[in-house]
Chain A
Amino acid sequence: MNCEFSILNFSSFNSKFKIQNLKLKGILFSAVVGWITVFLPSIGFSKAPFVPETAPLNIQVPAFDVKTLTCGIKVIFLKSDEMPLVSINLMIPGGSILDPEGQEGLGSLMTSCLRNGGAGDLSPEAFDAALENKAVDMSASVDKESFSAGFKCLSRDLPEVLPLFADMLRRPQFNIKRFETDKADSIDEVSRLEDTPDALTRVLFSKALLDQSPYGHSASPKSLSLVKQGDVLKFYQAHLGPAGSVLEVTGNVDEEKVLAQLESLFGDWTAQEKLPDYAEAKSLGPVIYFYPKQVSQVFIRFGVLGLKRHDPQDIPLSVANYILGGSGFTSRLMHQIRSDRGLAYFVDSVTVPFNIRGIFEVIGGTRPDSVKEYLTVMFQVLNDFAKTGPTESELQQAQKSMVEEFAYNFESPFALADYHTSLTFNGYPDDYLQTYRDKVKAVTQVQAASAASAILSQKDWVLIVAGPEELEKDLEAFGTVHKVTSIFDPLVSNP
């Protein structure tokens, strides 16, 4: 509910792969401890502020204790006794890419039923009560490439809650009544995706860019309506298990005791089916999909295929993206589109790698009568960046920002453990956190430019626009436009 309004859309700051380009004309940064001038001399008004430079911050990456259960689950402990709290999170390889064709949304529905459908000897109602009487927040969810399950509780309750967690994961009941409710709720939720331009363009973007791949599929009311209780059970049995899974335990715990309990609860869990290999997705671009919707703010997504996880270009592209559209107020896109012209409230770019090639996306919105100008400026900024990359000064400033903001990962042990666990789950080296800053600092102007150029020079881009009907003719100036009447229909491609 919108009772607060911000200077900037907060989502702009949420990606690990984002932000920052800095044009600090006139600001002197000193490498040594001392006083530095923050700005040019003033003329007749206030004096320029002075900031004392401080010694560099020494950040120690804490020791994560890593153990492996007999079943193969890797357990990562980060002990923190500051608070009487524990957070547990399990990541299992798989995700919505495993949804069978025609039953898209099955993985998501399975995770809802896992939590809501009762477990072990407990009926759904009794299971809910067992958790909620202790204010335990337990959940299960799905992402494109993973299933997650976890909970948060007071540390004194952990010995009693862990068996409930194991029951949910290993002995779910998938109660038929709860299945029916979860299915109806899921269908309703999916059908509401067409209600907002943001959500409906997200679905279309994924379909258009990751065509012919399970990575681009999305649930529809029809695909969900075909799912039966037995399908959920079968899907669960085939795909939930310990192989490749990582369990994070953070907080006020006795590691030995927790490890022993985990071994007794999960040690004999048998491995799930092996994951298939996925071919690279293909874009339907160059193409424009236009969804007519009577709204006063047009939503626009532009994108191309991005990088595969662990691509050597990963960090150079992150740095380049920081400069282009990932750094909030100070990015090139934000300067040109918001600050200079007032064309948008927000515009940003993100790079998201998958186990196949991921996505590179520019997201923004503008009023209907300025769509043409917004797109012209956006294409101009992208083309310029693809041709010449960042300036040396932009690069240095971005590197400094990314290195400095690294401290933010250490704000709380819980946030740090979440981040570290996702790195481990996704196969990043153990010393990723220790070496990240040096890798960012080592990126050269040529490397950043080349990473940006390789991505932005791709010709098969997709552009998704949702806005009033009359926009269609404006969009034709930018390429072939296909009108979409339902996000659940297959997309028409260019001949």
Chain B
Amino acid sequence: MRLFCKRFCVFALIFTALAAFSPLSAQETTDADSNFNLPVVEKVLQNGLTVLILERPGVPVVSFSLMQPVGAQDAPKGKTGLPHMLEHMMFKGTETIGTLSYAKEKPILDEMDKVAQETNDENEKLQPSTERLKALADQMEKLEQEHHQVVVKDELSAIYTQNGGQSLNAWTSQDATNYTITLPANKFNLYATIEQDRLSHPVFREFYSERNVVAQERRWRTESNPEGKLSEALESTAFSASPYKDPAIGWMSDIMKLMRLDAEAFYHQTYRPDQGVLAIVGGVQAKDIIPILEKTLGQVPNPTVPPLKKNWTKEPPQEGQKTVHVYFDADPMVMMGWHMPNFPHADGLALDVLSDILTTGNTSRLMQHLLFGKKLVTSISTETGFPGDRSPNLFVLSFNPAPGHSADSIVSAIDAEIADIQNNGVTQAELDRARRNIESAFLWGKISTSDLAQDLAYNQAVHGDWRYVTRYMDMVRALTPDDIKKVAAEYLTSENRTIAYLERPAK
């Protein structure tokens, strides 16, 4: 279950990107190599959109990552999941893509909004009228049928697919929203043109049927999945004030009353070219594509409304251990989270390394002692940066108890392992091995153009500088065994911890 958080991804770029320009021989790569010169071409277009280009000559594809530094934690109160819903709507087309006639379509969309608002209003009443709700549902269905006559389904996706687009997708995390696609390298113009239109003239058609799709997504990923349920319980229990307490997909009751006009308003507040980042990696040349970008994506206007002011509530210090029990028809699982600082705090980096020392590989401490040694667990893992890393977040440890061992007895064994590190520290050999693991994982996890593009865009958009790609390992290399001991003592305490137990309900 260990996931390298996004900031980890960046180091791989060092090797891969160098590959494009200054191939390294094996002999040239030593542990001391760290000051790599990543040949990213950086260009700010006239509307403020930051473009990062990494040329990879000879590769017949080009990957794009268009990242906005807006995520689930930016959702307005009572509208959790709105940023994710907006992400879905960005696939619905424009004033000219996805419709036979936007002029005919617009009044229908407006009418749908009215019906949806009336439905919300009725549902908010202490005693909603079933007759009224049924009449509104019938009205909505009629409008949907009418709308069906003018809509061209999924046309934006179809254009890309027909042109060889792969990995056409998008994701919304707590911190950012990202749009990806990989195209044959000769389709650059297609991307620039379509994206200019998508960002300049989006139309959030089919909003209310897509709301049902998102509800299905929530049921599938979270409500019908033991791990999904448990991690949601951990988030919402560990955080009491930070917006990280709300799930990125949103609460079901919020999802089901989201409105198209909410998404439009949020779009104009947050999807600003002057805050966005576009990373391009693949078989293209910067000198050829920059003029095209200026004429296309560079023309997307910044909205006239003021940008959303980030005003996240800070999580107060936790003053005692919290626990939560989730009942689900599945074998037991446990997740525990300790509060930790956000990137690029040095303690966060030390916790990244500690995570590796604890559970990466058969030689890691908890694998050796608890899985192979005492056989208390059948799997165990750790990760940092949960559920995001722009705000203070969690160091998470998850395990599946071996049959016959209670979750609490395993928690005690884990506590003893942590106490050992708090008292006696880790060895230089453990630190070196962790560092090599992190380097290797970066290297191998990120050889694809698509991953490279996302890493560059994420670091620029969320952390403010794509160069963290190259700085991260330098920062990790500066750590000493004492740094690891110190963060174990400071953060991995019971007062700072939340434990979420998944248990089978009694029959």
Q: Spell out A's residues near B (CB within 8 Å).
A: 1-8, 10, 13, 19-20, 22-27, 29, 38-40, 42-52, 54-57, 59, 81-85, 116, 124-125, 128-129, 132-135, 137, 152, 154-156, 177-178, 180-181, 184-185, 188-189, 191-192, 194-197, 252, 293-297, 299, 327-330, 334-335, 338-346, 365-367, 397, 400-401, 403-408, 410-412, 414-415
Contacts and interface: CB of A to CB of B under 8 A. Distances in A.
A130 to B, nearest CB: 10
B217 interface: yes
Interface string B161-176: 1111111111111100
A184 B24 contact: no
Scoring A2, A81, A329 by chain B CB atoms within 10 A of each residue's CB, the highest score goes to A2
Given A84-B26, A295-B223, A407 B185 contact: yes
B220 A365 contact: yes
A2 B444 contact: no
A44 B163 CA distance: 28
B440 A52 contact: no
Interface stretch (B40-48, B88-96, B342-350, B471-479): B88-96
Contact of B169 (A10, A124, A401): A10
13 contacts: A2-B232, A2-B249, A5-B217, A5-B249, A7-B88, A46-B197, A83-B16, A83-B24, A84-B26, A128-B363, A340-B209, A345-B216, A410-B60
A52 B189 contact: yes
B381 to A, nearest CB: 10
Contacts of B331: 188, 191-192, 195
B25 A84 contact: yes
A339 B144 CA distance: 12
Contact of B186 (A40, A56, A294): A56
Contact of A188 (B28, B216, B403, B437): B403
Nearest to A252: B26
Nearest to B401: A188
User: Sorted from nearest, which 8 A-B pairs have the closest CB atoms?
Assistant: A404-B164, A342-B212, A195-B330, A297-B219, A295-B224, A135-B440, A82-B19, A329-B157
A409 B201 CA distance: 33
A177 B374 CA distance: 11
Contacts, number: 328
Scoring A48, A135, A155, A299 by chain B CB atoms within 10 A of each residue's CB, the highest score goes to A135
B148 interface: yes
B406 to A, nearest CB: 15
B420 interface: no
A38 B97 contact: yes
A51 B450 CA distance: 23
Contact of A135 (B19, B162, B433): B433
Contacts of B27: 156
Interface in B218-277: 219-228, 231-232, 247-249
Interface of B: 1, 3, 15-16, 19-20, 23-29, 59-61, 84, 87-88, 91, 94-97, 100-103, 148, 152-155, 157-159, 161-174, 182, 184-190, 193-194, 196-197, 200-201, 206, 209-217, 219-228, 231-232, 247-249, 328-331, 361-363, 368, 371-372, 375, 378-379, 383, 386-388, 396, 400, 402-403, 433, 436-437, 439-441, 443-444, 447-450
B157 to A, nearest CB: 4
A373 B212 CA distance: 14
B161 A335 contact: no
A56 B164 CA distance: 12
B248 A3 contact: yes
Contact of A367 (B60, B61, B215): B215
Contacts of A52: 189
Given A1-B383, A49-B196, A181-B375, A22 B161 contact: yes
B152 A23 contact: yes
A42 B96 CA distance: 6
A355 B181 CA distance: 34
A290 to B, nearest CB: 16
B159 A38 contact: yes
B196 to A, nearest CB: 7
Given A43-B102, A85-B443, A124-B362, 10 more contacts: A23-B155, A44-B102, A133-B436, A156-B26, A156-B29, A195-B329, A346-B220, A404-B163, A404-B164, A414-B447
A367 B89 CA distance: 21
Contact of A23 (B158, B165, B439, B447): B158
B159 A415 contact: no
A82 B23 contact: yes
A381 B152 CA distance: 19
B162 A400 contact: yes
Nearest to A197: B224
A85 B444 contact: yes
A366 B219 CA distance: 9
Contacts of B450: 411
